[in-house]
């Protein structure tokens, strides 16, 4: 029986492990892939307090080593479900069953991809899913944003103050995001909308050089030379395996307050799988700290009942 089982070894999960270990709780972290989460793909982090510049990989390594040094046990197994047994929970993997007094789901979310050949290989080499993370590397260069929702419009607006030229590629004839943001974009001389269009190919020579774009109405294909492509077509939260025990919003994110609690006592959520307005490294680590603190309080309440 562990005090706390944490599902996910990204920034939220590892921060939760650090806080829980410092509270003298036994902690098991389950991770399906490799520790660090999405941040390992970021070449340089420049907006995290104290660290002026650190690679995502180095950040993940230091966080992992800190959690391990404090006593967290980290096992690389994929959690495929959970059972609620009242005063304890059981997290299930294909190989094992792990009991805990409290569980923190820090499963994160995956970027919805374009599904094009070479996409994974170009991440960090001209292709990004986070304009606020990587936009600074494209000052006075030519970039494009794919998407038509609020995130895409905000990304394009943010990049317009950095890049020389911004193409905004959307598959429909009108953007789905807020009109106020769309209006501000129309006032930007260096932003060019490319509507009714989809990206059909990524062209590269070790790094991205251009994209092929198909106009769905005319059938015409054009090639756009680019230094960077930012994909903003949505994210997919990884909550399906636990949806029985948490409320989900229409996009599949876990509904919780700032205390990271769920409808199931003893079950908490932290990081990018949680419904919130800002998804950044600093908010993920903040969630981890809050979720661990709340989990410790919950365990203390169980002990008080005894």
CA distance 125 to 115: 17
> Which of the residues 3, 21, 133, 272 is marked catalytic?
133
SS3 37: helix
58 part of the active site:
no
Which residues have C-beta within 8 Å of that of residue 24, sequence separation ≥ 6?
none
Q: What is the DSSP string of 54-99?
A: B-HHHHHHHHHHHHHHTT-EEE-----EEEE-SSSEEEE-SS-EEE
> Which of the residues 3, 21, 130, 260 is marked catalytic?
130
Q: Tell me the angle at which helices 11-22 and 56-69 cross, rounded to the nearest 10 degrees.
A: 20
Q: Which residue has the tokens 């661990």?
A: 292
CA distance 115 to 6: 30
134 part of the active site:
yes
212 part of the active site:
no
Residue 7, exposed/middle/buried by CB under 10 A (0-12, 13-18, 19+)? buried
Structural tokens at position 25:
């709780």
Pairing of strands 127-128, 89-92: unpaired
Whether 167 and 143 have beta carbons less than 8 Å apart is answered as: yes
CA distance 218 to 64: 51
> What are the backbone angles phi and psi of residue 297, rounded to the nearest 5°?
-60, -45
Residue 129: DSSP 8-state: S
Residue 126: DSSP 8-state: T
- Return the active site residues: 130, 133-134
């Amino acid at each position: 029986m562990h005090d706390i089982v944490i599902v996910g070894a990204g920034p939220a999960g590892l921060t939760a492990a650090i806080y829980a270990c410092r509270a003298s709780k036994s902690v098991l972290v389950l991770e399906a892939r490799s520790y660090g989460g999405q941040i390992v793909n970021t070449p340089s982090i420049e907006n995290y307090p104290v660290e002026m510049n650190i690679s995502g990989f180095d950040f993940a390594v230091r966080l992992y080593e800190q959690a391990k040094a404090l006593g967290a046990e980290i096992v690389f197994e994929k959690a495929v479900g959970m059972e609620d047994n009242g005063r304890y929970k059981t997290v299930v993997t294909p190989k094992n069953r792990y009991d805990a007094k409290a569980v923190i789901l820090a499963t994160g979310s995956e970027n919805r991809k374009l599904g094009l050949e070479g996409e994974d290989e170009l991440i960090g080499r001209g292709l990004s899913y986070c304009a606020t993370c990587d936009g600074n590397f494209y000052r006075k260069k030519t970039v494009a944003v794919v998407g038509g929702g609020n995130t895409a419009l905000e990304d394009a607006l943010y990049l317009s103050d950095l890049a020389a030229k911004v193409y905004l590629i959307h598959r429909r004839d009108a953007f789905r995001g807020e009109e106020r943001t769309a209006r501000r974009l129309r006032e930007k001389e260096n932003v060019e909308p490319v509507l009714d269009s989809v990206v059909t190919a990524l062209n590269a020579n070790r790094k991205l050089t251009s994209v092929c774009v198909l106009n769905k109405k005319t059938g015409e294909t054009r090639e756009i030379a680019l230094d960077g492509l930012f994909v903003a077509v949505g994210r997919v939260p990884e909550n399906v395996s636990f949806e029985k025990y948490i409320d989900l919003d229409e996009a599949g994110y876990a509904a919780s307050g700032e205390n990271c609690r769920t409808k199931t006592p003893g079950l908490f959520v932290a990081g990018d799988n949680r419904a919130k307005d800002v998804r950044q490294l600093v908010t993920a680590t903040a969630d981890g700290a809050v979720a661990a603190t709340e989990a410790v309080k919950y365990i203390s309440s169980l002990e008080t009942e005894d």
